[in-house]
């Protein structure tokens, strides 16, 4: 069976994290329908029919009754071939349906970024920052410290959790599109794929350098950037390239040191 291409793109859609083009969703739904079609039950194999007929022939001769119809063997072969044809067709249909989904992904990949992921990202990031600042004003941001907090604060914490999950879906979809070819060759390490001002926040150019947000959960990653002026964004490959070169032109030595 052929699976759905880049399922992470559809996982976020199904979770309500963002929208997708109608034609892409329709192609995905067609793949689902094909995938859900039951495979036909395998028939009795001709070899089994032959073994059974041998038993029946011996029994008929022993009992003096009519011999069984040996045409059952040929009929079994026809049924077996028909079953195999049906299995091959089902497998081929799933391959074709998956190919159509992939073609739609490649055709509307840029529109997914600009018209669907980008608006969802902006809404998510704006909402998270507003909720996190409520927690900052309260003085505590960890859920375990908010059990006795006012309802507004606890609601803000829940909002942070929900938007962190949404952010995870959005960025997973963007990663899937990168795998499909919508990446930025000028930014091979993807430093500007999620953070517009990456090197303002993490100046180190060492290959083994660890940015201060490395290893944080998504909630804490978003919280850190809220507190430290991170410019999280959802760039197109062209926008990402422009940002790489904008910094390189501002400081060519940094470019020489490696991105």
Tell me the per-residue pLDDT of 97-138, one tens digit each, with 9 for 90 and over.
999 999 999 999 999 999 999 999 999 999 999 999 999 999
- 232 φ, ψ to 5°? -75, 140
CA 86, 92, 96, 97 torsion: positive or negative? positive
How is the chain split into domains, by residue range? Answer: 7-101, 183-259
Q: HEC profile for 9-28?
A: HHHHHHCCCCCCCHHHHHHH
Q: pLDDT category, 248, cuts 50, 70, 90?
A: confident
**Per-residue pLDDT for 255 more than 80?**
no
Mean pLDDT of the chain: 92
**Per-residue pLDDT for 253 more than 70?**
no
Tens digit of each residue's pLDDT (9 = 90 or more) over 186-205: 998 899 999 999 988 987 66
**Per-residue pLDDT for 210 more than 80?**
yes
Tens digit of each residue's pLDDT (9 = 90 or more) over 13-33: 999 999 999 999 999 999 999
Tens digit of each residue's pLDDT (9 = 90 or more) over 147-187: 999 999 999 999 999 999 999 999 999 999 999 999 999 99
pTM for this model (two decimals) = 0.84
- 219 φ, ψ to 5°? -60, -45
What is the structure's pLDDT at 135?
97
E strand or H helix at 161:
helix 151-179
Tens digit of each residue's pLDDT (9 = 90 or more) over 61-79: 999 999 999 999 999 999 9
Torsion angle defined by CA atoms of residues 153, 154, 158 and 164, in that order, rounded to the nearest 10 degrees: 40
- For residue 101 the two structure tokens come to 């989904």
Rounded distance between C-alpha atoms, residue 237 and residue 113, angstroms: 10
């Amino acid at each position: 069976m052929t699976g759905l291409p880049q399922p992470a793109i559809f996982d976020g859609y199904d979770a309500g994290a963002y929208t997708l083009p109608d034609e892409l969703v329709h192609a995905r739904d067609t793949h689902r329908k094909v995938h859900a079609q039951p495979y036909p039950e395998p028939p009795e194999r001709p070899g089994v029919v032959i073994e059974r007929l041998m038993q029946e022939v011996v029994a008929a001769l022993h009992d003096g009754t009519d011999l069984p119809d040996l045409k059952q063997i040929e009929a079994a072969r026809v049924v077996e071939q028909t079953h195999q044809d049906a299995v091959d067709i089902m497998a081929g249909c799933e391959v074709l349906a998956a190919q159509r989904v992939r073609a739609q992904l490649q055709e509307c990949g840029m529109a997914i970024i600009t018209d669907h992921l980008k608006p969802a990202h902006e809404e998510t990031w704006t909402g998270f920052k507003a909720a996190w600042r409520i927690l900052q004003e309260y003085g505590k941001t960890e859920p375990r410290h908010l059990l006795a907090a006012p309802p507004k604060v606890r609601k803000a914490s829940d909002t942070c959790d929900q938007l962190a999950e949404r952010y995870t879906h959005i960025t997973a979809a963007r990663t899937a599109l990168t795998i499909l070819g919508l990446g930025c060759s000028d930014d091979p390490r993807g430093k500007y794929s999620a953070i517009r001002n990456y090197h303002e926040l993490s100046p180190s150019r060492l290959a083994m350098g660890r940015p201060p947000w490395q290893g944080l959960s998504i909630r804490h990653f978003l919280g850190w950037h809220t507190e430290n002026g991170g410019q999280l964004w959802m760039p197109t490959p062209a926008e990402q390239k422009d940002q790489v070169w904008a910094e390189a032109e501002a400081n060519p030595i940094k470019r020489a040191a490696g991105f």
